[in-house]
Structure 1
Amino acid sequence: MIDAISFQNGTLRYLDQRFLPLKENYVATKSHIEAIEAIKTLAVRGAPLIGVAAGYTVILGINAFQGSKEEFPAYFEQLITDVEASRPTAVNLFFATARLMEVYNANYAEDSLESLVAKMLAAAVKIHDDEIDNCDRMARFGVDQIRKDLASTLKKRKLTVLTHCNTGTLATGGSGTALGVIKLAWQEGLIEKVITAESRPLLQGLRLTAWELEQENIPFYSISDSSSAFLMQKGMIDFGIVGADRIAANGDTANKIGTYAHAVSADRHGIPFYIAAPVSTIDITIDNGTQIPIEERNADELRTIFGTQVATPTTPVINYAFDVTPSELLRGIITDKKAVIGNYVEELRKIV
């Protein structure tokens, strides 16, 4: 069992994903500053896991506080600001900080600091536990929907699925979002193999998803991101399923850069394309995808690969971390509450 993240006795322990698959490097820290840096540098990544890590990071920051109760509000406000600044696109992070803020606002006036911290820790642990349960429910909804949508193909043969980036245990702490659906579909005999796109520039599909599939003994092939359209043209992909970092109220979805291209190709070839994400990823305060903040990362992520320079240091670079897939390109959005098929504006608001 992959142990992506854990929290015990005031220590956050996580698997540093920057070194996978060549090295399994576990890090233990009591420092919220180190934990924030882990989120920024993608040592911890994946929208749901970022939310889990954010909750525990706030607890680390609170544990470091040494002032009086009267000084705590200003410290706590700055701590939340620092954690939220670590990754701007993944709404799960803000979901986690909002949960802890709720506990703070409800209990600060009457509780001692010790009691307040205990309640906030319980809230952070519940975020983690809920994420594990969410993955299990999401997988069930996803597999049931695939059985419906691809019933005619399943009567003839097993399926080949395309996925992008990493959406498994490494991204959630549970079985996964999109990869959780894939794992369950494999266990139930629906899938023959997985096609995992490399996910440039940081190769989460090639490094992380491939590694997870190997751990699960699920057959797969890795491809360059630009290969998926040709494979679809050749009839080598039956459906696609990916995760999400933020879903707008109309179903427009921000996910790892390259997702939009896969979705366009799937639409062109009549192939179902799904998003799998917990309800905490849905941001109903945003009407559509044009309002989703898109992180632009350091140019050296593209100019170098594992520290090896592949372009000159002066090469101009545009390095968006995410793109936005319009909802009309989706067959459906698989959540931990239900599979939403169309009518996203109304249905997503119902379940949030």
Structure 2
Amino acid sequence: MIDAISFTNGTLRYLDQRFLPLQENYVETRSHMEAIEAIKTLAVRGAPLIGVAAGYTVILGLQSYEGTKEEFPAYFDRLIADVEASRPTAVNLFFATAKLKDLFKAHYAALSLEALFAAMNAAAVEIHNDEIANCDNMSRHGVELIKQDLAETLKTRKLTVLTHCNTGTLATGGSGTALGVIKLAWQEGLIEKVITAESRPLLQGLRLTAWELEQEKIPFYSISDSSSAFLMQKGMIDFGIVGADRIASNGDTANKIGTCAHAISAYHHKIPFYIAAPVSTIDITIDNGTQIPIEERNGDELRTIFGTQVATPTTPVINYAFDVTPNQFINGIVTDKKAVTGNYSQELQKLFT
């Protein structure tokens, strides 16, 4: 059983994903600044898991507070701001901090700091438990959608699925979003094998998804990101499913850079392409993908691979961490509540009413 993150007796324990699959390095910390750095550096990554980590990071910050109750609001504001600045694209992070900010607003005046901290601790644990349950729900809804959309193919053979980046236990703390769907589909005999794109520049698909599939004993092949269109052309991929870091109210989806290219290729080859993400990933406050903030990371991530220089230090680099897939290239969005198809602007809104 992969233990991506846990919080016990005031200590956050996480698997440092930067060193996988060659080294399984578990880190324990009671410092909220160390936890923030873990999120920034992708030691902890994956939108749902970032939300879980954000909740626990705030709790670490509360544990170190030594001031008076009157001084606490200013400290809390700084703490939340530091956590929210760690990864600007993953909306799950802001979902977690919003939940804790709401608790503060509702109970600061009436509760002692000890009671307030206990309530926030319980809320952070609830965020984690909810993500585990969300993964199970998403897996069921995703498998139902696959059975429906690919019923004719399933009459004659099992399926080959393309995925990108990592969306399993390492990204969620539960069974996974897109990879959770894949795992359940494999268990139900729907899938023959998985094609996992390498996901440059940090290789989460090659390093992390491949590692998880090996743990689950699910047959797979890893490919370069640019190979998927050719494999679709050759009839080697039946459908694609990926996760999301933020989904706009019209269904436009931000995910790991390279996703949009896969989706456009799938659309051209008439292959279903799905998104799997919890409702907390949907940002109903924005109209479309142009309003999603896209993180641009240090160029050294592209110029180096695991510390080895593969380009000169002066090579100019554009290194966006995410791209946005327009909704017309998405056949369905699988959430923990239901699988959404059709008019995304209407159907996604219903999830919040």
TM-score range, shorter chain: over 0.9
Aligned equivalents of 1:102, 1:74: Cα separation in 2: 15
The letter of the residue matching 1:239 is F
Give deviations 1:253-278, integer Å, cap 9, x for gaps: 00000000000000000000000000
Aligned to 1:106: 106
Give the drift of 1:143: 0.1
Give deviations 1:198-237, integer Å, cap 9, x for gaps: 0000000000000000000000000000000000000000
Aligned equivalents of 2:103, 2:239: Cα separation in 1: 42
Aligned to 1:225: 225
Q: Partner of 1:160: helix, strand, or coil?
A: strand
Aligned equivalents of 1:49, 1:297: Cα separation in 2: 20
TM-score, structure 1 normalization:
1.00
Give the drift of 1:111: 0.4
Give the drift of 1:40: 0.1
Aligned to 2:91: 91
The letter of the residue matching 2:272 is P
Aligned to 1:82: 82
Aligned to 2:28: 28
Q: Partner of 2:162: helix, strand, or coil?
A: strand
Aligned equivalents of 2:162, 2:322: Cα separation in 1: 18
The letter of the residue matching 1:202 is L
Give the drift of 1:146: 0.2
Unaligned runs of 5+ in 2: none
Are 1:246 and 2:246 an aligned pair? yes
Aligned to 2:171: 171
Alignment of 1:1-352 (within 5 A): 1-352=1-352
Give the drift of 1:116: 0.3
TM-score, structure 2 normalization:
1.00
Unaligned runs of 5+ in 1: none
Aligned equivalents of 2:8, 2:97: Cα separation in 1: 20
Give the drift of 1:162: 0.0
Aligned equivalents of 1:263, 1:252: Cα separation in 2: 12
The letter of the residue matching 1:254 is A
CA RMSD between the two structures? 0.3
Aligned equivalents of 1:18, 1:8: Cα separation in 2: 23
Aligned equivalents of 2:105, 2:189: Cα separation in 1: 48
Aligned equivalents of 1:287, 1:252: Cα separation in 2: 9
The letter of the residue matching 1:317 is V
Aligned equivalents of 2:349, 2:37: Cα separation in 1: 34
Q: Partner of 1:114: helix, strand, or coil?
A: helix
Aligned equivalents of 2:163, 2:274: Cα separation in 1: 10
The letter of the residue matching 1:160 is T
Same amino acid, percent of matched pairs: 83
- The count of aligned residue pairs is 352
The letter of the residue matching 2:154 is L
**4+ residue runs of structure 1 moved beyond 6 angstroms?**
none
Aligned equivalents of 2:349, 2:192: Cα separation in 1: 35
Q: Partner of 2:345: helix, strand, or coil?
A: helix
Aligned equivalents of 1:128, 1:103: Cα separation in 2: 17
The letter of the residue matching 1:112 is S
Q: Partner of 1:294: helix, strand, or coil?
A: coil
Aligned equivalents of 2:169, 2:103: Cα separation in 1: 27
Q: Partner of 2:293: helix, strand, or coil?
A: coil
The letter of the residue matching 2:88 is P
Aligned equivalents of 2:267, 2:328: Cα separation in 1: 9
Give the drift of 1:342: 1.5
Give deviations 1:304-350, integer Å, cap 9, x for gaps: 00000000000000000000000010100000000001210011011
Q: Partner of 1:82: helix, strand, or coil?
A: helix
Q: For structure 1, which segment, 218-227 or 99-108, has the greater mean C-alpha deviation from structure 2 after superposition? A: 99-108
Aligned equivalents of 2:191, 2:288: Cα separation in 1: 33
Give deviations 1:156-210, integer Å, cap 9, x for gaps: 0000000000000000000000000000000000000000000000000000000
The letter of the residue matching 1:311 is A
